[in-house]
Amino acid sequence: MNIKRIDPYRALIPREGNMKIEAMIYISENMKLEEESLQQLRNAASLPSAYKALATPDIHTGFGVPIGCVVAMPNEIIPCAVGYDVNCGMRLLTTPLMKDEIDSKVLADSIRRDIPLGEGKKNLKLTKSELRLTLERGVKGMFDWAKNHERLLPLWNDLEMETDYHHIEDMGSMAGCVEAVSSKALERGRDQLGTLGGGNHFIEIQEVKSVADEKIAQAMGIRKGQVVVMIHSGSRGLGHQIGNDYMPLAAGASREKSPDRTLGFFRADSREGRDYIGAMHAAANFAFVNRQIMAMLARRNFRHYFGNIPMPLVYDVPHNIAKYEKHGNGSFWVHRKGATRAYPPERMKGTQYQSLGQPVIIPGSMGTASYLLVGTDGGAESLYSVNHGAGRVMSRMAAAGKVRRDGKIIKQGRITDEMFRESMKGVYLVCEDRHAIKEEAPDAYKDINEVIRVVVGAGLAVLVAKMAPLAVLKG
């Protein structure tokens, strides 16, 4: 495949074959690229009305389009370019505590008792009316039901909630349509709020290791040595089912126009397109509320040990979502799959971050650093988008192998027990499946430091702080 290196942080796939536009990749010469992920990016650039297709430094093979991909279309909506875990996203809470003031093991074990880890787990069961309010109004809708819920009533604080939703992208509320969500999706989501999920989802208790921009960090309440909490989760079974429901429909709707059968799309103004957008927004609201509830539960556990300490929300940002945005002289459906919006100050007018730029939260992998950045004007060329994480360098099966339920190893993984222990040295790990956890081993991911070097070097975001894990909770 023809790839042209532009500078140390950018490479270009020139327009060729069926491609309608060229495709940019933010990548260094030290980072490897998968042929399959590049072909998926080429396919995205071959969509009939493609305005822009690009890849962030964490690019790796996904379904339909690569993970770490941004695709913009004027009037088309692409379910697979959002993904199955609609509004999977990141949330960062600060504390007034320093590393030597806490026992991260005690706190992690305590949080585990409140927040179920792993796939298929249940926690808060909602009535039909509570679920409707959640899907239609997101975090704002919680004011109409959560303060009266028996599990959440003891955790409720009007002022804290009011402050929180001003620190969430879209204030945690999008125009969700319950009627566009299947009964199966509703059933899957009814009792999953307040659960983490499996795969790469996590809760981490972290220490701020270094601060790169003191002024911005201070404005966000961040300082070196401080303890912070990071939450990574999404829309659980409800969002996954919405993907299951709409991706085949999109493939059928665009069969003769799409460059690949997995890359289906709707016209955004069609009945099916409007339904998908309403369902996607509903799943996004569910994910916002899910992270809000987990934050409330994490606060409860910290406050059990340290009293009623402040634990303000820095920001909550999605990385699997499509939004209608103005760029250049037009407006487009910008799909970010495994990619995070990174608006500069100008585009954050009317929000808490109009003088700083949008906070960007980029985790590495368990055992490695995570980063806090803010968007800049230089991000215009990427439609103000950056990566959502480090990105995989080996598949889950390659990393962990395959094991039967009775414990017999069918295929040996590349991550040995010794490698895993070494990579997690000094980090307290709480997980559900001691074998499957190797899928998420640091060695299965790209070097997050190199990834951040590309983002900053390309001028897409400004580095604010670096955090390191003290304790990790995984499914």
- pLDDT tens across 347-388, in order? 999 999 999 999 999 999 999 999 999 999 999 999 999 999
Between CA 16 and CA 23, with CA 19 as vertex, the angle to 5 degrees is 90
Per-residue model confidence as pLDDT tens digits over 391-418: 998 888 999 888 776 667 788 889 998 9
Per-residue model confidence as pLDDT tens digits over 201-231: 999 999 999 999 999 999 999 999 999 999 9
The Cα–Cα gap between 209 and 466 comes to 6
Instruction: Say if CB 208 and CB 467 are below 8 A apart.
Output: yes
Phi-psi sector, 197: left (phi>0), alpha (psi -120 to 50), beta: left
Per-residue model confidence as pLDDT tens digits over 48-99: 999 999 999 999 999 999 999 999 999 999 999 999 999 999 999 999 999 9
Question: Which of the four pLDDT bands, split at 50, 70 and 90, describes residue 256?
Answer: confident
pLDDT at 408: 72
Residue owning tokens 């339920």: 405
Q: Residue 142 is inside which H or E element, if any? A: none
Q: Give the number of other Cβ atoms within 10 Å of residue 166's Cβ.
A: 12
Query: Where do the structural domains in the chain lie, given as residue ranges?
Result: 4-79+86-393+445-474
Least confident residue range of 19-23, 136-140, 162-166, 436-440? 436-440
Least confident residue range of 120-129, 144-153, 207-216, 405-414? 405-414
Of 338, 306, 410, the C-alpha closest to 90 is 338
Active-site residue, from 201, 281, 335, 388? 388
Is 167 one of the catalytic residues?
A: no
Instruction: Say if CB 311 and CB 299 are below 8 A apart.
Output: yes
The three-state secondary structure class of 223 is coil
Give CATH superfamily name and number for 4-79+86-393+445-474: tRNA-splicing ligase RtcB (3.90.1860.10)
The Cα–Cα gap between 273 and 253 comes to 10
Per-residue model confidence as pLDDT tens digits over 292-339: 999 999 999 999 999 999 999 999 999 999 999 999 999 999 999 999
Q: Give the number of other Cβ atoms within 10 Å of residue 21's Cβ.
A: 17
Residue type, 442: P
